[in-house]
Structure 1
């Protein structure tokens, strides 16, 4: 009886322990099975990625789809046993997950990178030392002019304002390049064509360039047509300009600081100069400063000028200025005749105020020309403008160089939004009348810009203009209105 009692007590004590051990084994078994299933899924996904990298692109999508990913057992192929004494094939013991992932990461580091954020693909080598990106733009205008007393100015037409194609890129950390050709105003021309070296200079970033480059001259004059708020630059940017035009073939240096920059450019004639006379020489400089730059406010101050020695074969020391768009060659402010021009000097001032979606800007420029007989004439222009983004975008001002940029659209149309809508107005005046044969004119512009996304813009400008050209109709003043619409895509 004593032995029987001890046996009963022992069995009673072991039952809970056995039950508890059984529960632990069940939980451990379930955990192992879950981990095995997770590893199997990871193996399948990894095999799909490796297969997509090894097969043609047409098969990659099918391999990578979760529905078609097969488990490792189905992917393995039956192989006959290896003869005795012979090494097993290399895939008899497949590498671990860590080794396979490391192999994929190494392959990705060796591949190049493609970035579409600028609208066209920018190709960058794996080590980041080489880059290449195509550039382009298309500006298509429709315009009509009414109200002029001269019937030839009342016209309706379409025009390709600019069709441009080019490329840019970089070599190493410091060297970059840019080349663009343009069809505009019924002419084909090379625009930007230069190489640049960017480096540190006195603790700031500096850029040194050789080639054909856009002037650094005023806020509008230093900005591209695709960035200014109106269909054309203001009268200061168009009229107070060297003989060589907006671009100069030569050398340029710019130093960029925190909210300021200083630039100097030395150049000869336009890149398309025929080459039958010595070039002229233009030395230009510009500086800008943002004395106030907070999250809400930004103030822009600018100063620029140039001195030019005009080439003997210069046919026109000044250019006629389009008032109602480049489509209407009959509607221009004429500079008059000034023979024997040998030098010119210009000076300009800039003042801008930006507050989030609001901006206001004013600019003045003056130029004095002198000919070989010692006669001097003065030219001047000024413009004031303002704008407001109804959709809340910040004003597209780039403090690095004191130039116009393009807005970052908050809700692009291509993503289901309404785009960015900007209202703008400008009043400007150009005066060539110090020359007895020169004209003068004013223009009031109301504009609306609709940015569908960061690369596409639709514009509408309504211009009320007045001009007086002494050599046309005995100096009679003319007045009228022009309506211009533009479709723009620029990358």
Structure 2
């Protein structure tokens, strides 16, 4: 059954109706054992170091397009249920799975066990995100816009099965994570059968690592605005089997503006990032590039120049209601208590383009061309985030896209598009 806005509003109403009681319960004294609240979420508590937290996420979007596109106006974007908790003082875990609009179970998301006795060295094993990308490593309900940037969506690997070593020093002044993974993540491999027969078994393993540092923290005082400035770098490398299996350019609504090309060899990623949250303001920026080999993919089995995907974004946010921009935005007065909640303004510019390393000769769109004609999606997004009450957030975004190749757009001959999205998310 396809959901309707009326059904969505009914579901949202039921969830919101329980929010006052949930908020009241979460403010009570912690429960030593039994059913209670832990980390501001419902949980089954067995002791100080053993508990199972219950998690659920429901995200619903209402969308509009100019010019008109053949896209659904309403979308149930996220529906997940899971558990997160601790088995002992040393072991924590997370399980989370997607549910579709018909109530059927879909893909597993995070499924991992983490040994964290020491801050400097911890080990995580299972299914989780490959350490690459600042924005990608935020959850879907934790980002500052309706959609992640195109680079964060199309160039990062996202989740896969693997094992990673991670840790932190100097009170998170320096963090690191490095691991080996089964393939190249959910986003790094296409779901369509694009491989030469039998080659899919050669996808992976992928090795990845990420380091971040609060580089100015040792040089400034405890109350200095620059104390929160953090920079980072990340890298992945993995085997890329032969086939029509490159990364691709896709709009937020699923149109392929740069189709996959033939590749063989290795896929490498390089990324750098910046994150700064002085007081009520936030500034985040990221640049990343993928480089994919095309060995023996030309006529006569000649090597073609590398296939490149290059993307970046920069954005700023401002909490006009005065809260600090940190991991958990506090509310001086939520709507339940007669206040405005927290209101945030956001503006982002981004680009994601694909093409070949070679710029010699006439550019072509053929997936076996040495000099590929590039195409870039350039996007402005303006948004308002309204933190209505704990666990409830409303997001409104206006999005303007502009493509460089008029033949590869959602409507041929049109290069500029507007869209608007209104999102309701309820997260426990």
TM-score range with shorter-chain normalisation?
0.7 to 0.9
Cα separation, 2, equivalents of 1:304 and 1:341: 23
The match for 2:283 is 360
Cα separation, 2, equivalents of 1:485 and 1:363: 25
Higher strand share: 2
Cα separation, 2, equivalents of 1:471 and 1:268: 37
The match for 1:385 is 315
The match for 1:238 is 153
Unaligned runs of 5+ in 2: 1-30, 297-302, 357-370
The Cα RMSD (Å) is: 2.9
Question: Residue by residue, what CA displacement relative to the aligned partner does 1:206-233 show, whole Å, maximum 9, x if unpaired?
Answer: 3211111023222201111111100111
Match of 2:52 among 116, 119, 132: 132
**Conserved? CA contact 1:437–1:470, under 8 Å:** no
Counterpart check, 1:198 vs 2:116: yes
**Conserved? CA contact 1:342–1:371, under 8 Å:** yes
Deviation at residue 122 of structure 1 after TM alignment: 1.8
Cα separation, 2, equivalents of 1:421 and 1:481: 24
Matches within 5 A, 1:461-476: 461-469=397-405, 472=408, 476=413
1:197–1:290 CA distance, 2 compared to 1 (3 A): same
Higher mean C-alpha deviation, range 336-345 or range 272-281 = 272-281
Counterpart check, 1:433 vs 2:392: no
Cα separation, 2, equivalents of 1:436 and 1:453: 50
**Conserved? CA contact 2:244–2:261, under 8 Å:** no
Cα separation, 1, equivalents of 2:46 and 2:106: 33
Deviation at residue 438 of structure 1 after TM alignment: 5.2
SS of the equivalent of 2:60 reads strand
Match of 1:290 among 188, 200, 214: 214
**Conserved? CA contact 1:336–1:437, under 8 Å:** no
Counterpart check, 1:266 vs 2:180: yes
**Conserved? CA contact 1:468–1:477, under 8 Å:** no
Deviation at residue 315 of structure 1 after TM alignment: 5.7
Deviation at residue 333 of structure 1 after TM alignment: 4.8
SS of the equivalent of 2:223 reads coil
Higher mean C-alpha deviation, range 219-228 or range 266-275 = 266-275
Cα separation, 1, equivalents of 2:286 and 2:238: 21
Cα separation, 2, equivalents of 1:358 and 1:129: 35
Matches within 5 A, 1:295-310: 295-297=223-225, 298-310=228-240
TM-score by length of 2: 0.76
Deviation at residue 439 of structure 1 after TM alignment: 2.7
**Conserved? CA contact 1:310–1:342, under 8 Å:** yes
The match for 1:189 is 107
**Conserved? CA contact 1:264–1:285, under 8 Å:** yes
Counterpart check, 1:216 vs 2:136: no
Cα separation, 2, equivalents of 1:460 and 1:111: 40
Deviation at residue 169 of structure 1 after TM alignment: 2.1
Cα separation, 1, equivalents of 2:98 and 2:113: 18
The match for 1:227 is 142
**Conserved? CA contact 2:43–2:51, under 8 Å:** yes
**Conserved? CA contact 1:141–1:485, under 8 Å:** yes
1:454–1:253 CA distance, 2 compared to 1 (3 A): farther
Deviation at residue 281 of structure 1 after TM alignment: 1.3
**Conserved? CA contact 1:379–1:431, under 8 Å:** yes
Question: Residue by residue, what CA displacement relative to the aligned partner does 1:295-326 show, whole Å, maximum 9, x if unpaired?
Answer: 351211111111111245x7633144223xxx
Cα separation, 1, equivalents of 2:50 and 2:279: 36
SS of the equivalent of 2:336 reads helix
TM-score by length of 1: 0.67
**Conserved? CA contact 1:334–1:438, under 8 Å:** no
Deviation at residue 171 of structure 1 after TM alignment: 1.4
Cα separation, 2, equivalents of 1:337 and 1:469: 16
1:353–1:432 CA distance, 2 compared to 1 (3 A): same
